[in-house]
Amino acid sequence: MTKTILKAAVVLLLLGFLLIIPRYVESPYALHMMILLFLSVSQGQSWNIVGGYAGQHSVGHAAYFGVGAYTTMMLMHTKQIAPWIGVWAGVALVVVVALAIGSICFRLRGPYFVLASIAVAEILRLSAINLTSLTNGAEGILATELPPFKIGGTIVTEFLTKVPFYYIGLFLVVLTIGITYLVQHSKLGYYFQAIREDQDAAHSLGISITLYKNIALVISAVLTSLAGSFYGIYVGFVDPPTVLGLDVSVQIMLICIIGGMGTLWGPVLGSLVLVPLSEALRSNMVTEVLIKVGLVNAESKVGIFLKENLSHAHVLLYGILVVLVILFMPDGLMGFVKKLATRWKREAV
């Protein structure tokens, strides 16, 4: 009991801390990093519900991310519909898409399900490229002018700084973690985990497998779509590869795998590792540090090569991380931490 209260206190304290950050931090870059972190946590947590808890490893979550992002941006760009209304259109569409995908793909198991989920996302990506009149094709949609957000005539924010985006991102994180917590501690969560552990046993106990898989997918898809809409509005630009590509699906999945699937804090941990690392590589920080420390000479061939190319290859790091995690910590960082904790406890006794 005291442990639960302690945990809740830590979480609330952390949340309070995150709420007041923008009052003291003004650097747009720092806020940008936090927003990227929030986006990553909410993506990972959304996937976690269907992938981690229900054990259905969709490699096609770009479909929901992209549909959310595209719907919001398309409505804003062509019909001048404010994004906070467009978001719900995106959600509605994603529910339809998720149910369609679920009814097709959930008939399949294991590797076949994975392949089908990829195929559906690819069909959507190719459609976005080809339906030029609707989606502007491969050029994508650019819409950076956001209308001011009003409640009853008073302007709440005009989106002039990154602060409103920061709070939207934080809201998404709280929402996704909150929903995952609720799912985990409800009958629904137990059903999901029963399906994950042994589909046939769950079925023989009277759990309707298809129904609960679809419920898990719809919850996950709706949350992913919200993250997608947020991405579109924040960046102000969407095109087929950046929101519907296979890379997007893999990255969403990676957050969970590295952090730990089917755990509440896994996606947070995964994001805390992935976001700073990929940003450090992207912004050439790694090369600069290597040069400063004196490991690499800035004028030497290696130094010049790294400066020019390392920032393009931040995905290389993703690849190496995945391989290492799968080979050496198949339960992700959370599993690794737990293992260390139990070992430490045993030794303490």
Partner 1 sequence: MAVFMQSLISGILIGGVYALIGIGLTLIFGVMRVINFAHGDILMVGMYLTYMIFTLLGIDPFVSVLITFPLMFLFGGFLQKVFINRVLNALAQNQILLTIGLGLIMSNTVMLIFTSDYKILTTSYSSSTIQVGGGVSVSTPLLISFLITAAITATLYWFLLKTDTGQAIRATAQDRDAAQLMGINVKRMSIIAFGLGSALAGTAGALISPTYYIFPQVGGVFTLKAFVITVLGGMGSVVGATLGGILIGVTESMSAVYISSGWKDVIVFVLFLLVLLFKPSGLMGKSRT
Question: What are the residues binding partner 1 (CB under 8 A)?
Answer: 57, 59, 104, 107-108, 110-112, 114-116, 118-120, 122-123, 126-127, 129-130, 246, 250, 253, 257, 309-310, 312-313, 315-316, 318-323, 326-327, 330
Q: Compute the least distance from the CB of residue 162 to partner 1, in Å.
A: 30
Closer by beta carbon to partner 1, 57 or else 162? 57
Residue with smaller CB distance to partner 1, 227 or 306: 306
In 197-282 the beta strands, taken as DSSP E runs, fall at: 237-238
Task: Tell me how far apart the alpha carbons of residues 272 and 41 are, in angstroms, rounded to a whole number.
Answer: 9
Minimum CB separation from partner 1 for residue 323, in Å?
Answer: 4
Gap between the Cα atoms of 88 and 211, Å rounded: 24
β-sheet bridge partners, residue 238: 141
Output 163 or 329, the one with its CB closest to partner 1.
329
In sequence order, the β-bridge partners of residue 142 are: 237
* Complex with partner 1: residue 234 or 318, whichever CB lies closer: 318
In whole angstroms, the minimum distance from the beta carbon of 96 to partner 1 comes to: 17
By beta-carbon proximity to partner 1, the closer residue of 107 and 292 is 107
Q: How far is the CB of 181 from partner 1 (least distance, A)?
A: 24
Query: H-helix or E-strand containing 151?
Result: strand 149-151
Q: Are strands 237-238 and 154-157 parallel, antiparallel or unpaired?
A: unpaired
As measured in angstroms, the least distance from the Cβ of 315 to partner 1 is: 5
Measured from the Cβ of residue 103, the count of other Cβ atoms closer than 10 Å reads 12
CB-wise, 8 or 100, nearer to partner 1? 100
In angstroms, give the least distance from the CB of 14 to partner 1: 30
First-last CA distance in the chain: 22
CB of 129 to partner 1, least distance (A): 7
Residue with tokens 């779509």: 225
Determine which helix (DSSP H) or strand (DSSP E) holds 243, and give its type and residue range. helix 240-244
Pair of tokens at residue 286: 């790694």
Q: Which of 104, 298 has the CB closer to partner 1?
A: 104
Alpha helices by DSSP H, listed for 106-208, are 110-130, 132-135, 163-184, 187-197, 199-204
Give the whole-angstrom CA distance, residue 322 versus residue 26: 35
Q: Region of 332 please: left (phi>0), alpha (psi -120 to 50) or beta.
A: left
Instruction: Answer yes or no: are the C-beta atoms of 248 and 242 closer than 8 Å.
Output: yes
